[in-house]
């Protein structure tokens, strides 16, 4: 957005994604802008507010002075408590194999993506940058990350379906996929290829856990697992020791490790989530976090489907029912984003923006203007306003 369309947003840790326009006056309350462009996971506040004062982390000022958490560990800045809770949670959920993998902590999964690209490309010592590809529609930030620093090690290579170069490459596989929520596998499958599996959304509230993932590099993040995006904690499970070492070296040079305070907070949060999945576990005795979140997402998807059904302008993806090992039952996927398709020839992002709904257009994902990605992770007030405006969009476009 630019110029007079730019929303005025006052930043705070509790701000809504609903904002008012510049130039409003006291005599007329303008229709608020709803920002559903980014996946800010504020919907999880309702669960964590129920916890209240049951869990509070206090860190003495004398603690965490050193750069080092465990100098003997391959990832020397990884807090032992966080490593322990990561492994426990994966074993409880059954979504990833942690044995024979090294844990590397990062400042969110974004830093880990960069670390993985560095580690894989640096090891080849190629004269030209290695192509980074991903199957369209792909996560919009992959291109930005690959090209931002104009690295001599790697470059953005585009849609994996169209990649036909006889040379080494790195394929990013996002599963469930961002933006469309479908499960993905590598598509290039060629000699000299390396694969990074971005599993940020492979949790029970978004999709069925059909089997534990077991790949060479697997990326996860607290942001989409528990909703604590502000803590900026992600982790990688890395099979190859040398690759893990190079990823650690990247983070060492980039930020000299990862905040210990954030790691300790994340460890405490993951401990609570694991405990909530086990009936009667003290001291919290909470509602199962993933069941609560899954029901929350299912209800939102139901409301959305009800709002767009029986119209020829807007459509959303349908997902098959699959058996989930974690919930021991069949379930549909309830992705973090809606990959909405508008009628042929419609600039979907532009139309929604005219109704003061900010989304991310399909072209940024290697798709077309008829698609947009819409976050399902906002607070109730944003989501409800979005649903209220959908009938007006349909009516306006049918005129």
315 and 223 part of one domain: no
Domain boundary among 276, 304, 339: 276
Least reliable range by pLDDT among 24-28, 262-266, 305-309, 378-382: 24-28
Helix and strand element counts for the chain (H, E): 10, 17
pLDDT at 309: 85
pLDDT at 310: 74
Model confidence at 18, pLDDT cuts 50, 70, 90, reads low
Is residue 231 helix, strand or coil?
helix
Q: What is the CATH number of the domain that holds 302?
A: 3.90.1150.10
88 and 14 part of one domain: no
Domain boundary among 227, 252, 276: 276
209 and 324 part of one domain: no
Q: Could you tell me if residue 272 is inside a domain?
A: yes
Instruction: Write out the residue range of the structural domain in which residue 206 sits.
Output: 80-276
254 and 148 part of one domain: yes
129 and 271 part of one domain: yes
Q: Could you tell me if residue 70 is inside a domain?
A: no
Q: Could you tell me if residue 62 is inside a domain?
A: no
Q: Could you tell me if residue 99 is inside a domain?
A: yes
What does DSSP assign to residue 31?
P
120 and 183 part of one domain: yes
Other C-beta atoms lying within 10 Å of the C-beta of residue 232? 19
Domain boundary among 244, 276, 308: 276
Q: pLDDT per residue over 131-149, tens digit each? A: 999 999 999 999 999 999 9
Residue pair 325/94 in contact (Cβ under 8 Å)? The answer is: yes
Q: What is the CATH number of the domain that holds 256?
A: 3.40.640.10
Averaged pLDDT score across all residues of the chain:
91
Percent of the chain with pLDDT over 90: 82
Q: pTM score > 0.95 for this model? A: no
Give every CB contact of residue 380 below 8 A, 6+ residues apart in sequence: 43, 46
Nearest to 171 by CA among 189, 153, 191: 189
Model confidence at 190, pLDDT cuts 50, 70, 90, reads very high
272 and 299 part of one domain: no
169 and 254 part of one domain: yes
pLDDT reading at 20 higher than 70: no
Q: What is the mean pLDDT of residues 85-89?
A: 98
Model confidence at 249, pLDDT cuts 50, 70, 90, reads very high
215 and 179 part of one domain: yes
pLDDT at 200: 98
Strands (DSSP E) found in 192-288:
193-198, 217-221, 234-238
Apex 268 CA angle, 265 and 273, nearest 5: 125
Q: Could you tell me if residue 205 is inside a domain?
A: yes
Count the domains in the chain. 2
Q: Could you tell me if residue 358 is inside a domain?
A: yes
Residue pair 118/243 in contact (Cβ under 8 Å)? The answer is: no
Model confidence at 54, pLDDT cuts 50, 70, 90, reads confident
Q: Could you tell me if residue 55 is inside a domain?
A: no
Greater confidence (333 vs 280) lies with: 333
240 and 135 part of one domain: yes
pLDDT at 231: 96
250 and 368 part of one domain: no
pLDDT reading at 3 higher than 90: no
Q: What is the mean pLDDT of residues 263-285?
A: 85
pLDDT at 52: 80
Model confidence at 311, pLDDT cuts 50, 70, 90, reads confident
pLDDT reading at 2 higher than 80: no
253 and 295 part of one domain: no
pLDDT at 56: 82
Q: Could you tell me if residue 59 is inside a domain?
A: no
Model confidence at 13, pLDDT cuts 50, 70, 90, reads very low
Model confidence at 189, pLDDT cuts 50, 70, 90, reads very high
């Amino acid at each position: 957005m630019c110029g007079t369309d730019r929303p005025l947003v006052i930043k705070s840790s509790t701000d809504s994604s609903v904002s008012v326009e510049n130039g409003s006056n006291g005599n007329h309350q303008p229709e608020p802008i709803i920002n559903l462009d980014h996946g800010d996971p504020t919907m999880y506040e309702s669960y964590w507010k129920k916890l209240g004062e049951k869990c509070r982390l206090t860190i003495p000022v004398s603690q965490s002075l050193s750069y080092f958490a465990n100098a003997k560990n391959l990832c020397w800045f990884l807090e032992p408590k966080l490593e322990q809770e990561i492994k426990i949670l994966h074993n409880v959920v059954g979504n990833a194999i942690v044995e024979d993998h090294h844990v590397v902590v990062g400042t969110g999964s974004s830093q880990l993506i960069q670390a993985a690209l560095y580690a894989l490309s640096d090891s080849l010592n190629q004269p030209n940058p290695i192509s980074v590809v991903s199957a369209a529609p792909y996560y919009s930030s992959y291109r930005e990350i690959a090209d931002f620093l104009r690295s001599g090690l790697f470059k953005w290579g585009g849609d994996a379906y169209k990649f036909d170069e006889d040379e080494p490459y790195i394929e990013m596989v996002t599963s469930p996929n961002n933006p469309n929520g479908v499960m993905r596998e590598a598509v290039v499958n060629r000699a000299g290829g390396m694969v990074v599996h971005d599993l940020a959304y492979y949790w029970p509230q978004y999709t069925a856990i059909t089997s534990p993932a077991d790949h060479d590099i697997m990326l996860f993040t607290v942001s989409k697992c528990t909703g604590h995006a502000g803590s900026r904690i992600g982790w990688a499970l890395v099979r190859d020791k040398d690759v893990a070492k190079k990823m650690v070296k990247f983070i060492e040079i980039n930020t000299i490790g990862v905040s210990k305070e954030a790691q300790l907070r994340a460890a405490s949060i993951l401990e609570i989530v694991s405990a909530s999945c086990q009936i009667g576990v003290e001291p919290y005795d909470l509602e199962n976090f993933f069941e609560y979140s899954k029901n929350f997402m299912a209800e939102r998807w139901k409301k959305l489907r009800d709002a767009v059904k029986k119209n020829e302008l807007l459509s959303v993806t349908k997902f098959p029912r699959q058996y989930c090992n974690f919930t021991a039952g069949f379930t549909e996927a309830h992705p973090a984003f809606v990959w909405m398709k508008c009628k042929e020839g419609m600039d979907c992002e532009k139309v929604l923006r005219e109704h003061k709904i900010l989304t991310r257009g399909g072209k940024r994902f290697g798709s077309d203007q008829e698609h947009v990605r819409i976050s399902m992770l906002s607070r109730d007030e944003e989501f409800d306003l979005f649903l209220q405006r959908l009938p007006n969009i349909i009516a306006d476009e049918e005129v």
